[in-house]
């Protein structure tokens, strides 16, 4: 489709959530590569890249880049807000830097100027360009060659730049990526939902590129010039919606950045309450596990979670993705994982803080700005039934940088950062890297 019409008060034939056009088998399905395009039938799109980098001296970095769009008025395709969040953590300095950019127009026509331009994706073209109206963070994410878009062997390039709000330094990132695994469905055939329909949160369509290997890259933090020699990103592609009926104040070209952030904060509910963890083992196994925290009465204590402290998750899901060429092309190349017991069988995974016997002393970090407390070290135990796929019985996760708190678009603060993955409790045998998100604090 072309650029949405410009009349914000007329009802156009766009609708979300998607209305079933026929029998049950006619429900729109995720198909590649079109799912990487803008999904106009949904109020929200996001392209979310997270992971770690390693420089040529062995230094480690946490990376997260998110490009998104949000339709403020339910059934109308305009006005749209677009946003870019950049997060960079430097392990040696234990510092986290963030930069943001916002805009108010979206286009899938490359000849039509807009803050966010995403032409329709084809087998051999994928290009996201975000040029902000507010603040200065900007990004381009594009396909550069190799196998078709979304297939193992394709190559991509990420270029981002913005001023760090913590230090005022200019952040400049350039990454060359090779897809080592291809695109995989998340959740149950692409559907990720709250544990119960009445729970807070949203239903989403999601796919992942779990192993985008960094072949080379550069990172500039002010005057510091860093050459990257390795690392890996996980691309999480999401399309979802909120209420189909918007209302209230709408942004305009004269809206100030602080006002825009407040509008977004009021409109966008917390996606979930719990953790989302991506794990990439050196063995070639990739997985995500997402336990949904039980509610607690003590504000700021939700980080003390897991069955070992008497706070088992109220729900959760995960996905196991086996290595490419492992002979498991069926079942989405792996397995759906359950975060709670099902039909008498134990849960497939259990995420706990590192020291449940002395929970208040378990490794954590408290935000000086917002007061939230976040865990920085965890254990993840897996069911014995996963051992035949090569999944370890237990792994330990340690944050690369403690202070990875994010306040994207004025939202409720949350924590997201890269982690090392270890095989032993002493955390001496590193077997991979990952990324953890903690969201939904009261």
> CA–CA separation, 363 vs 358, rounded Å?
10
Task: List, for residues 254-305, the tens digit of each pLDDT value.
Answer: 555 555 555 554 444 466 789 999 999 999 999 999 999 888 878 778 899 9
- Nearest-5° angle of CA 273, CA 413, CA 257? 130
Say which residue, 12 or 410, is predicted with more confidence: 410
Q: Classify 270-442 by CATH class.
A: mainly beta
Say which residue, 254 or 163, is predicted with more confidence: 163
Burial of 142 (0-12, 13-18, 19+ CB in 10 A): middle
> CA–CA separation, 295 vs 274, rounded Å?
10
What tokens were used for 241? 């919606």
What lies within 8 Å, CB to CB, of 358 at 6+ separation is none
**Residue-level pLDDT at 31:** 84
Is residue 77 scored above 80 in pLDDT? Answer: no
Phi/psi of residue 262, nearest 5 degrees: -65, -40
- Alpha-helix residue ranges (DSSP H) falling in 173-325: 257-267
For residues 118 and 131, the answer to whether their CB atoms sit within 8 Å is no
3 state DSSP class of 34: helix
Say which residue, 199 or 366, is predicted with more confidence: 366
Mean pLDDT for 152-165 is 97
Is residue 19 scored above 50 in pLDDT? Answer: no
Q: Identical fold at 1-255 and 270-442?
A: yes
Which one, of 188, 414, 406, lies nearest residue 288 by Cα?
188
Mean pLDDT for 360-364 is 96
**Residue-level pLDDT at 259:** 58
pTM: 0.88
**Residue-level pLDDT at 6:** 44
Q: Taking the domains of the chain in order of start, what are their residue ranges?
A: 1-255, 270-442
For residues 8 and 76, the answer to whether their CB atoms sit within 8 Å is yes
The DSSP letter of residue 388 is G
Q: Please state which of the ranges 243-247, 301-305, 396-400 shows the lowest mean pLDDT.
A: 243-247
Strands 204-221 and 170-179: antiparallel
Is residue 236 scored above 70 in pLDDT? Answer: yes
> CA–CA separation, 320 vs 50, rounded Å?
18
Task: List, for residues 307-353, the tens digit of each pLDDT value.
Answer: 999 999 988 999 999 998 766 556 678 889 999 998 888 999 999 99
**Residue-level pLDDT at 260:** 55
**Residue-level pLDDT at 375:** 96
Is residue 206 scored above 60 in pLDDT? Answer: yes
Say which residue, 1 or 103, is predicted with more confidence: 103
3 state DSSP class of 218: strand
What lies within 8 Å, CB to CB, of 343 at 6+ separation is none
Q: Please state which of the ranges 132-146, 227-241, 256-270, 339-353 shows the lowest mean pLDDT.
A: 256-270
Mean residue pLDDT across the chain: 85
Burial of 315 (0-12, 13-18, 19+ CB in 10 A): buried
Is residue 145 scored above 80 in pLDDT? Answer: yes
Q: State the residue for tokens 């760090």.
A: 164
Q: Going by CATH, does the domain composed of 1-255 fall within 2.40.50.140? A: no
**Residue-level pLDDT at 28:** 55
For residues 349 and 383, the answer to whether their CB atoms sit within 8 Å is yes
**Residue-level pLDDT at 25:** 43
Strands 116-117 and 106-107: parallel
- pLDDT category, 88, cuts 50, 70, 90? very high
Which residues on neighbouring strands pair with residue 99, listed in sequence order?
86
**Residue-level pLDDT at 194:** 64
Mean pLDDT for 66-77 is 75
């Amino acid at each position: 489709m072309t650029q949405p019409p410009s009349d914000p008060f007329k009802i156009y034939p766009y609708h979300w959530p998607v209305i079933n056009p026929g029998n049950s088998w006619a429900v729109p399905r995720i198909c590649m590569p079109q799912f990487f395009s803008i999904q106009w039938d949904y109020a929200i799109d996001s392209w979310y890249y997270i992971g770690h980098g390693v420089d040529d001296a062995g230094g480690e970095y946490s990376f997260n880049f998110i490009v998104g769009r949000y339709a403020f008025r339910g059934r109308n395709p305009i006005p749209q807000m677009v946003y870019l969040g950049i997060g960079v953590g430097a392990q040696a300095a234990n510092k986290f830097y963030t930069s943001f950019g916002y805009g108010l127009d979206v286009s899938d026509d490359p000849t039509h100027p807009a803050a966010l331009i995403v032409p329709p994706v084809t087998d051999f073209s994928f290009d996201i360009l975000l040029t902000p109206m507010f603040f200065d963070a900007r990004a381009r994410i594009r396909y550069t060659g190799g196998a078709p878009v979304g297939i193992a062997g394709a190559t991509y390039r990420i270029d981002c730049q913005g001023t760090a709000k913590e230090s005022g330094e200019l952040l400049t990132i350039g990454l060359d990526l090779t897809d080592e695994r291809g695109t995989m469905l998340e959740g149950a055939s692409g559907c990720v939902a709250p544990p119960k329909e009445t729970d807070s949160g949203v239903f989403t369509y999601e796919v992942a590129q779990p192993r985008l290997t960094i072949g080379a890259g550069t990172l500039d933090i002010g005057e510091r010039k860093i050459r990257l020699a390795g690392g890996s990103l996980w691309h999480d592609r999401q399309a979802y919606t909120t209420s189909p009926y918007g209302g209230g104040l709408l942004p305009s070209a004269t809206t100030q950045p602080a006002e825009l952030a407040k509008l977004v904060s009021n409109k966008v509910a917390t996606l979930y309450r719990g953790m989302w963890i991506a794990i990439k083992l050196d063995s070639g196994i990739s997985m995500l596990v997402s336990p949904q925290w039980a509610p607690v009465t003590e504000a700021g204590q939700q980080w003390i979670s897991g069955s070992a402290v008497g706070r088992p998750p109220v729900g959760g899901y995960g996905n196991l993705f086996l290595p490419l060429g492992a002979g498991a092309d069926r079942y989405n190349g792996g397995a759906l994982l359950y975060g709670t017991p099902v039909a008498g069988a134990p849960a497939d995974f259990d995420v706990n803080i590192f020291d449940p016997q002395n929970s208040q002393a378990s490794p954590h970090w408290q935000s000086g700005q917002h007061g939230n407390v976040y865990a920085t070290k965890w254990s993840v135990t897996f069911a014995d039934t996963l051992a035949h796929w090569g999944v370890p019985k237990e792994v330990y996760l340690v944050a690369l940088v403690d202070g990875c708190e994010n306040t994207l678009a004025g939202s409720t603060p949350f924590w997201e950062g890269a982690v090392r993955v270890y095989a032993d409790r002493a955390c001496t045998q590193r077997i991979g890297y990952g990324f953890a998100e903690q969201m939904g604090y009261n």
